[in-house]
Every structure is written in structure tokens, then in C-alpha cells.
Structure 1
Amino acid sequence: MASALPMKTPICLVENRNEELTVNQQALAILSSITKPVVVVAIVGLYRTGKSYLMNRLAGNNRGFSLGSTVQSHTKGIWMWCVNHPHKPDHVLVLLDTEGLGDVEKGDSKNDSWIFALAILLSSTFVYNSMSTINHQALEQMQYVTELTELIKVKSSPNADGEEDSAEFVGFFPDFVWAVRDFTLTLELDGRPITPDEYLENALKLSKGKNPKVQMANLPRECIRKFFPKRKCFTFDRPTNDKSILAHLEDVHESQLESAFKQQADNFCSYIFSNAKAKSLNGGIKVNGTRLGKLLESYVKTISSGDIPCLENAVLALAQTENSAAVQKASNHYVEQMNLKVDLPTETLQDLLNLHTICEKEAISIFLKYSFKDETHAFQKELVQILEKKKNEFICQNEEESTQYCQAKLKYFTETLMEAISQGTFSIPGGYKLYRKEREKIIKNYHEVPRKGVKAEEVLQRFLQSLAMTEESILQTDQALSEQEKALEVEQVKREAAEKEKKLLEQEQMEMQQKMEAQKRSYEENISQLKKKMEEDRIQILEKQEMIMNHNLKEQKRLMEEGFHKKAEEMKRQMEILQKKIKNAEKTKHSWLHSFLDSIGNVLIHLPGAGKYLGLGVKSLGNLGK
């Protein structure tokens, strides 16, 4: 974690100046340094409704976000405070306080809508703060939620009918909390006590009638019910009746506040700490500060250009960047670990390949951990190619170091022999036996040298071949040997050379087999880890889809109970469309998977006979996605 945490005070994240939204680069750097998953809580509401006080409580401080004590809105843009999560040490709590909505001093209310939309896009829990009651006026002030489908696109291309499917927003939107401040009503309905949650749900009931005013009043209710399946409500008493204290809450000791308000504030904080989930993208992709910062930049850039943020495009752009970085991170890890683990030259090729298998497995795991939405597996294929290239580079380096080391040792051992040959020491009767004795001594010394590596036999054989003509000359000039003995010696030398050539060929074939088996292991490791990740992703996607379907079923049932049969039928139609999309997505996934199996096979199959082994792998693993 970067030294920027814990932050002592909030910082402006999105500046709102002259009706222009810009990202504060200093704040972005702090956010981008957070590598842990983030729980993002954003609060919005009309100005002067006490939003900042609740956020300061979540940060564990009285001071921090500007409370203000006048009729002016103090918070401009979006302010951020990143603190260590009190209940989840492996997460960071990112608090976002937004400027007050409906500030009469602002000439253009369009930025209110964008601030509201950004709070939705960035948060995992969205808090709407209002005063007194959830009545018709309070719901009218939630007009911003009705504009979301005009301000945010889920898909880059519309549905067949040219309209955005609002049901898809559910998969992207945060949990919803309505905080009602200075609440003075009694929580009762039809003479029985009710909870704040029941109070909210009752307020979200649709009114009957075709009057345009009724339909307009129903619109924010419908949107909240559609977009936010998980809803929670908190009611707060007035902190104190002393106006002088209200004006300076950040300086007030808790003992000066009403006990009921303190308990309600504690309950609110406890709920957020325990229930606010980590920010995630569709498909269960966890978001850390780095990813959140990149998404924010993408959204603000799009808004500034006058376009509408598209969730699909933003996520795909993030995936491109993240997946490229994941490939780099994985390949760097492979090289670092190979350099640490491999002591060149290795005694055998298999020793090197065994270490390669370990490092490759770790690299694939790292890639799959940090990558997401690599649906065509293009980035994993790129990693396969890089690791194959890096492996071959290590093999070549291993062979070069072995060759150089062996050549150096032979040069050292043969200095005396070469000097004797040049001086004609063996050009005497009996010189051939003397030469053979020296030759065998050199071979013995050479064999006793440890860690010569994979080229030991080849270097020795090439060296002996280089002496063949000299050896033949010494043999022919040795007058102590008969012609028959010379002929027998020549045959013996040929047999030895043939045996060594055979041994070298067998070694080459064995190494070829080991390389092919290593490639087969590489193929199977990629598929094995991919299968595991795809299954994890599938479970998360199914859970999300089940949540959306259950939410739609409940909403359909509720609409039927409230007498809105046409709306219930529309909800049913949306569920059928969603189920169809799920099936189509599964088919697409299968085609991508088989394409990946083919492409990864093509990357690895470039050695004679490799196809035989990998072909079996494709055949046995080709039904992976079925």
C-alpha cells in the first residue's frame, strides 16, 4: 500500500469549475496507488442536509469533509477520503462526498445530474441523504435517478428495438441507502409499528391513474425499484435542538448530541462497515483503487467531450490496459523466477524444463489473477507466445553456456597433447599407443568434471572428430604396428565414433521428446487454470444473473399486487430477453474457447511430432466449455 494511506484529510477528486468537470491528478495518484479492493461509499443529496457529517463519522473523525454552516454549498465537485477499512483489513474504504444538489447559486443544473451519475458509477454503496420525510416532494427531488438512462449507456450498441434495456442497469448499479435526516414522524402504518425499510418500501408504492402528474410521480419510484434491488433506509432524529451547536457539529463533543441520534448514527456506520461490499464490475471483477481511477478518468473524459459514458466501453478499455499489464507482470515474473531458480548450465535439459514448468505455472496464475474480460483469450495467447519464446531463450542460453564451459575445459586438458602433436612427439615407433593413452587420460579427466551441462557429449564428440585426421596420421606413421593392426585400429575408431554419434542422436531424440512433453504440459496448464477461472467467473455471473432474475420476479409480483398488470407483463418480457441473452453469451463463450484451443495449439505445435501429443490434448480438453 502506498504511503498516501491513511489520508489525514479528504481531497477533491473531481473538480467542478465553470461548469466543467475535471479529475484532480493529485487525488487520482492517491487513488491509483491503492492495490487492495475498494469499498466505495458515495453520498448525494440536496445541499445543507448534513451529508458530510455522516461521511466524517464513517472515516472515524469529527472533522474532514467540510460541513459548512451557511446556506451556501461548501463541497464543490466530488471529494474523496481513503481510509483503512475498520472491519476488512484487506480492503480500503473510499468515501466520496458530493456537492449539494439543487444549489440555487449554480447557473446550470446539468452538472448536478453528472455528479449524481458519477456517484452511481463509482460507488458500491450509494447513499441518498434527504430531510424530514420520504414524501412526494422528496421523491420529486430524486429526479436525477430518472435521468440515468439518458446519462449512462450499459452497452455500446442498443437493443434490436433501438432502446437501452434498463433492466441491465441492475447488474452495474450499487446498493442503495436512503438516509432521512431530522425525521420527526412516528414509524407506523395502519396502526402497526414498521421498520425504516418498510417505511421506504411503502413510500415507493406506485400510484394508480393515467394522469401525467401521477405518471411523473411514479417515475422516480419505478426507477429506484428497477435499478436498486438492495435497498436500505435509516431515519435520524435531529442531532440537537440547539442551533448554535448545529452550526458547528465538527467541534461538538458527543455528549452534547441527542442519544437517539448518536445511536442511529452508530447503526448507520455499523451497517456500512458490515454490509457495504467491495466495488466490482459485471461478472464479479473486483475493483481496486488503480482500476477505479482509470474508470473515473474514462467517465470524466467522455462527459467532458459531450458524449454519454458507456459502461461496456469503459470496462473494455480498462480490460485492454489491465490485460496488457497482466501479460507484462506474468512474463516478468517468469523471467525473474527462472533467473533465480536456474543455475546455468543445467546438467540435463529436463532439469531446466522442470523449473520452467514451475515458473510457467506461477506466471499463468498471475496473469489470470490480474486479467479480466479476456473473452477471446487474445492476451493469454500472447502470454503463451512470450513464455514459449522466453523458454527457448533459456534453452539456447543453457546450451551456449554448456558449450563454452566444456570447450574451455577441453582446451585446458588438451594443451599438453596439442603441444606434443606439434612437436612430433608421437611420430615414433609406438607413438600411436602413447597418443591413445594421452587421449584416454583427457577423456577421463573431462568426464570427471561436474556440471558440464547439456552439450557435454556433443562438445567432446566434435573435439574428437577434429583430431581424426591427426590420429590417422599418427597411426599410419607408427612403424611398430603391422598393416593388419592398423586396419583393426581404424575399424575400432570408426566403431567408437559411430557409437558416440548414435548416443548423440539418442540424446537429441530424448531432448526433442522432453521439449514436446514440456509443450504438452504448457498447453494443459493453460487449459487447467483457464478452466478453473472460467468456472469461478461462471459461478459469479450466474449468482449475479440469479440476483437480477429474483429481483425482477419480486418486482413483477409486486406490480401485479399493486394492479399494474401491463408493467408486470413488460417485466416478464424483460426477463425472457435476459434469459435469451444468457444463452447467447454461453454459446459465444464456447466458440471463443474452441478458438483459443486452436490458437494456443498453433503457437505450441512447431516441433516435428508435437502435433501428435497436443492433438490428444485438444481432443480430450476440447469439450471443456460444454
Structure 2
Amino acid sequence: MSKATPMPEPICLVENVSGSLCICKDAIELLSRINEPVVVVSVVGLYRTGKSYLMNRLAGQQSGFALGNTIESKTKGIWMWCVPHPIKEGHTLVLLDTEGLGDVDKGDSKNDGWIFCLAVLLSSTLVYNSRGTIDNNSLEQLHYVTELAEQIKIRSPSKAADEEDEDSHFVRFFPSFVWVVRDFTLDLEIDGRRVSADEYLNFALQLKKGVNKKTSDYNLPRQCIRNYFPTRKCFVFPSPTSSDKMKCLESLQEEDLVPDFLEVTHHFCHHMFVESAVKTLKGGHRVTGRLLGHLAQNYVDTISSGRVPCMDNAVVTLANLENQAAVQEALKVYQSGMEEVKSKFPVNVTDLTSEHQKFSNLATSEFMKRSFKDEKGEYHTKLQEDIDMYYVDLIDKNEMASQQKCGQLLKNLFSEMSERLQNGVYSQSGGYELYCRDRDDIIAKYRSEPNKGVRAEAVLNEFLNERGAEAKSILYTDKKLTENDKKIQEEKEKAALLEQKCKEEEEKRIESERMMVVEKKRQEDRMRQMEEKMKQEMQQQQQEMDRALESKLKEQEEMLKKGFKERADFLGEEIKNLKKEKEENSGAFKQYVMPLLSTVANVLPSLLQYKMMKSVLKK
């Protein structure tokens, strides 16, 4: 699989010009060459809060993302840096540094909202960077999280109309949430007890009881963070160095930085490397760099058109693109694999069918690696039809090569006999016996010649039939034979031709049987791969639901402890619905998927059988 192209520095992924977002083609081109799974970490936060420094450390570099040393925001839009994952071999770490929120130069909070929305949609871990403490003011500054329900839809409009409280499902598809507090100067204590950074975050996210507007406004951002993100983590960083050195932070050596700051930075990076998961689409499909590029393009185009990004629509669009490409790539695997056997034409049936089975299975395997959500099997069916069409064409070409080789061989072997015919050697008394001896000698030499291909007996049958009138003429002009001898010999000629016809039919029967045996085995392998693929997709969906269930169960337990019974009951209903959906999905595999597999199994062999029958009938 293609790895991340070495990137010496970040590149702009989403450009923000005059409040309008557009995708950067160079970044998409770079992503298109990454076929590895990607772990996507994005950082968001108010401008001039030191977001870029953390991303540079995750990239293993001192500099890269622009830090800036003035009140002006340096990062515009979303910048991307792709690096080999430090600990997960075969994975690429994609770092997304977003434009600072609340930049006074922009004066466009809606634009900030879309930047935040894109960070959520594209990442597997979302880092929110702030300064000072986690207090009500800092949570109010994170008002973008409360707008996500209006800015992101899970289902397409036609389905969403039937879905109440769609945002309660965000936890299934949203990234993990990490809150980083910079320049933290307080002691981590609550009621005189030392607490961890995670406990500090949970304390800050506690809800207040009450139903008035002030309480509702207080609870809303906290409620959204608790509801939307499956896991929460917190890191508190002391100031990295003295204020006079902050302007040149990226040029400072480690010995110039506060040890506590370096220790937290190390823990932060270690956590991100170990715990940040591969980015997945709705349904659990793992995202490659190529897919991430398509996803970014889709969401930015949607936002630019004034519409609301929809996860369902994005997945359908990406699945169609990937499945079409998967068909083409898999077909290339088959075609390139069959080139070698094609160069050796004519070959026997065993060689052709064994290579066909081998590379057809490889092509199917390649298709399964890239395809996803091919729920009706239409792309898989398309691939098999394309392979079958190509295979039938190869059968025709192999037969043609055999026909030509055998015809030329008989022509060469018969050349000397033709001269004798022209010179009248067989027109004299006893000529018929001489003719038969020469003809039998040619047949013996012909049969001893190797690698004649699948048309050997058929071409010989045609040759002998074409020579039938010639042999009969020589027989009846041979004065050495009596009339009775001639009748006996004529019957022998007919018997020989009939025997040769039977050999041709036997050749066809063996060819057809071998093809069907291989086709049955190929079909079994294909069905096995299809079933494994569908089980894998089902397992990915179940894992997606398990993550959501775990999150909601923890939240329900905490709500019960804090006395929020109504909220706990509401979560209980969500948990009940999730469990029910999980059971229904599990049952759907037997109810819908297995019949689909059976249908595909019946259709595909019949198509090829029909084509092979046509090929045989042509003979």
C-alpha cells in the first residue's frame, strides 16, 4: 500500500478566502496517493492559544505549522501535515491545524462554525486548545459545539424527518475529545482533594439542576460535550517558559523549557499516538488518505453550496466512487495476471482455467479490500461480469490461436502429400493403399506434436472431412481393388470419420467439464470472500454501536449519581434503542445478507455458463 509522501512541511487543505471555504487541489492530490489507514488529529481553539506548537510536536518537529508571535492569527483555513505514524506501522498520521476561532480580523462567527464543523467531521481525535482554566467563560467560548446539531446531519433529509433527536446519535460517529488547557497556574484540587486532569474536566462539565433559562444556558455546552463525544480526556500545561521567550518558542531547545511543561507534552503525545484511532466513516469503514481527500472535498463542496453536510450522503457518495474504482483496479489485477498465459496461446484447458481461477480470486480479493457498502452486490456483480466477459474473450482467442496453429501444422505436414497428389502418385494401381499410409503417417505426426491447444481434434476432424472426397476419388480409381474391396474401404472411411467426430465431441465435453469444475470452485471462493467482507462490515457497525453504548452507559451512571434522574431515564431510552438496533442489525445478516449472497451465487454462474455455451456452440 502506498505510504504518505514525505512532507517536509504542512500544506493547506482548506483555504479560507474572504469567508469562503475551498479545497486545495494539491492537498487532495497528495492524499490520493496514500492508501494506508489514517489517524486524523485536528486541533481547534481560539486564535493565539498555541495550537500549532502541539501539532508540531505530534509531527516530531520543532517547527512546521506557523506559530506566530503577534496578536495576528497565522493559520488561515485548515492546514495539513501527513507523517508516518510513530508507533502504528502501516498507518499515516494526519495532523490538521485549524484557523484560530474568534479572530477579530474576520468578524464572522459563522465561518468559524464551519471550520469547527469540518474539524469534527474529518478527525478521529479532536483537540480543543484553550488558556487559563476551564470555567464558564471558556465553555461559553466553545459555543461552536452547541451549533453542531444544526451544522451536521447524520441522515439524508428524507430519512432524517423520521428521526427524532438525531444529535443523540452523534456519539456513534464523532471523534474522541481532548481538552488541552495551556498556561494553567492553579492547583489541581477540588474540595481540598488532589484530582487528575480528567477529573478536573469532568468537574467542569457537571450539570446544574433547574429548568430556568440561565441554568439551561449554563448546561447546554456541557451537555453537548457529554452527549456528542464518545470519550473525553484532559491535559493541563504549565507555561512553557518565561514570557519574554514565548515569542521564539519554536527555536527554543528543550533545556530552555520548563520541565513540567515537557513532561505533560510527552504524556500528551504518547496518549495521542496510542489512543487516537483510525478515522472511520459512518458504518465503521476505515478511512485511507485517498478517502479522507474525497471526504474533505465532499464536505467543503456541500458547505460552499449553502447546504448542511450529511454523513449518510457523504458515505454513499464515497462508496460509489470507491466501489467504481475498486471494480477497475480489480479488473486490472485480473487482466495483467492473465497476460502471461495469453502470451503463451494456444494453451490447454487446464492451464487456462487454473490461471483464470487464480487471478479471478486475486481480483475479487483486491476488490474486497477497497470496496464498502456494496449492500446490493451490484459492484461485485459488475466486476464478475467484466471478468467473465474478458475470460470468454480469452477463450475465443485461445481457440483461434489453436485453430491457426493446428491448421498451419496440418498444412505443413500435408505439403509433401499435396505434391504427390499433383504428380499423380496416387492415381496409379495401388495408389489408395499408398494414400492411406501417407495420410495415417501425417495424422500420427500431427498427434505427436505438443501444445496444439483446445481445437486439436476439431481441426483434424475438419481436415479429414475436407479430404473425404479426395480419398473417395482415389479409392474408386484404384484398379488394384475389386468393387467389394472398395465398398469395404468406403465403410472404413466413414467409420474413421465418425470416430474422429467422437474424439472432437469428447474434447468439447472435457473442456466444458473442466471449465465448470473450476467455475464452481471459483464461485465458492468468491462467496466465501463476500461473506467475510459482509461479516467484517457488520462487525465494524457493531463496534461503532458498542462504543456509543459504553459512552452512554457511563453518562447514565454519572447522571444517576448526581441525581439527574430524568436525564438518566432519557439516556436509558437511548441505550435501549441502541441495543435494539444492534440486535436487529445482527439478525439482518441472516435475514437479508445471506439471501443476497445466494442470489448473487445463482446469477453469476448462469451468466458465465450461458457465455461458455455460446462459445462451445460456435464450434
What TM-score results when the alignment is normalised by the length of structure 1? 0.94
Distance across 2 between alignment mates of 1:497 and 1:588: 60
Amino acid at match of 2:490: V
Distance across 2 between alignment mates of 1:4 and 1:576: 42
1:18-42 Cα distance to aligned partner (Å, 9 max, x none): 1100111122222222222111110
1:179 aligns with 2:180: yes
Distance across 2 between alignment mates of 1:548 and 1:210: 27
Give the match for residue 381 of structure 1.
381
Give the match for residue 538 of structure 1.
538
> Could you tell me how far 1:164 is from its partner in structure 2?
4.6
1:329 aligns with 2:329: yes
285-294 or 589-598: bigger deviation:
589-598
Give the match for residue 222 of structure 1.
223
State whether residues 376 and 596 of structure 1, in contact with CA within 8 Å, keep that contact through their aligned partners in structure 2.
Answer: no
> Could you tell me how far 1:59 is from its partner in structure 2?
1.4
> Could you tell me how far 1:543 is from its partner in structure 2?
2.1
1:203 aligns with 2:204: yes
594-603 or 465-474: bigger deviation:
594-603
Tell me the secondary structure at the aligned position of residue 479 of structure 2. coil
State whether residues 323 and 372 of structure 2, in contact with CA within 8 Å, keep that contact through their aligned partners in structure 1.
Answer: yes
In the superposition, relative to structure 1, how do residues 607 and 225 fare at CA in structure 2: closer, same or farther (>3 Å)? closer
Tell me the secondary structure at the aligned position of residue 177 of structure 2. strand
Distance across 2 between alignment mates of 1:347 and 1:34: 40
1:525-570 Cα distance to aligned partner (Å, 9 max, x none): 2211111122222222222212211222221222222222222222
Amino acid at match of 1:365: S
549-558 or 392-401: bigger deviation:
549-558
Tell me the secondary structure at the aligned position of residue 15 of structure 2. strand
Amino acid at match of 2:408: A
1:113 aligns with 2:113: yes
Unaligned runs of 5+ in 1: 612-626
In the superposition, relative to structure 1, how do residues 108 and 607 fare at CA in structure 2: closer, same or farther (>3 Å)? closer
What TM-score results when the alignment is normalised by the length of structure 2? 0.95
Aligned ranges 1:520-531 → 2 under 5 Å: 520-531=520-531
State whether residues 344 and 398 of structure 1, in contact with CA within 8 Å, keep that contact through their aligned partners in structure 2.
Answer: no
Give the match for residue 469 of structure 2.
469
Aligned ranges 1:212-611 → 2 under 5 Å: 212-241=213-242, 243-342=243-342, 344-586=344-586, 589=589, 590-606=591-607
In the superposition, relative to structure 1, how do residues 494 and 161 fare at CA in structure 2: closer, same or farther (>3 Å)? closer
Distance across 2 between alignment mates of 1:307 and 1:123: 21
Distance across 1 between alignment mates of 2:549 and 2:100: 35
1:81 aligns with 2:68: no
> Could you tell me how far 1:291 is from its partner in structure 2?
0.6
Distance across 2 between alignment mates of 1:283 and 1:177: 23
Tell me the secondary structure at the aligned position of residue 533 of structure 2. helix
84-93 or 577-586: bigger deviation:
577-586
Tell me the secondary structure at the aligned position of residue 414 of structure 1. helix
1:348-395 Cα distance to aligned partner (Å, 9 max, x none): 312211111111110110000110111111100111111111111111
> Could you tell me how far 1:267 is from its partner in structure 2?
1.3
Tell me the secondary structure at the aligned position of residue 76 of structure 1. coil
Amino acid at match of 1:354: S
2-11 or 107-116: bigger deviation:
2-11
1:41-94 Cα distance to aligned partner (Å, 9 max, x none): 100001111111111111122221111111221111111111222222311111
Give the match for residue 149 of structure 1.
149
Distance across 2 between alignment mates of 1:609 and 1:66: 64
> Could you tell me how far 1:583 is from its partner in structure 2?
4.4
Computed over aligned residues only, the root mean square deviation of the Cα atoms, in angstroms, reads 2.0
In the superposition, relative to structure 1, how do residues 448 and 2 fare at CA in structure 2: closer, same or farther (>3 Å)? closer
Give the match for residue 190 of structure 1.
191
Matched positions, count = 610
Unaligned runs of 5+ in 2: 613-619
> Could you tell me how far 1:507 is from its partner in structure 2?
2.1
State whether residues 347 and 451 of structure 1, in contact with CA within 8 Å, keep that contact through their aligned partners in structure 2.
Answer: yes
1:74-118 Cα distance to aligned partner (Å, 9 max, x none): 111111111222222311111111111111221211011000000
Distance across 2 between alignment mates of 1:280 and 1:268: 22
Distance across 2 between alignment mates of 1:12 and 1:324: 28
Distance across 1 between alignment mates of 2:608 and 2:246: 79
In the superposition, relative to structure 1, how do residues 610 and 553 fare at CA in structure 2: closer, same or farther (>3 Å)? farther
Give the match for residue 618 of structure 1.
none
> Could you tell me how far 1:600 is from its partner in structure 2?
4.4
Distance across 2 between alignment mates of 1:610 and 1:61: 60
State whether residues 120 and 126 of structure 2, in contact with CA within 8 Å, keep that contact through their aligned partners in structure 1.
Answer: yes
Aligned-residue sequence identity (percent) comes to: 44
Distance across 2 between alignment mates of 1:89 and 1:585: 32
> Could you tell me how far 1:422 is from its partner in structure 2?
2.8
> Could you tell me how far 1:610 is from its partner in structure 2?
11
In the superposition, relative to structure 1, how do residues 606 and 376 fare at CA in structure 2: closer, same or farther (>3 Å)? closer
> Could you tell me how far 1:339 is from its partner in structure 2?
1.1
State whether residues 52 and 97 of structure 1, in contact with CA within 8 Å, keep that contact through their aligned partners in structure 2.
Answer: yes
State whether residues 283 and 537 of structure 2, in contact with CA within 8 Å, keep that contact through their aligned partners in structure 1.
Answer: yes
Distance across 2 between alignment mates of 1:158 and 1:451: 62
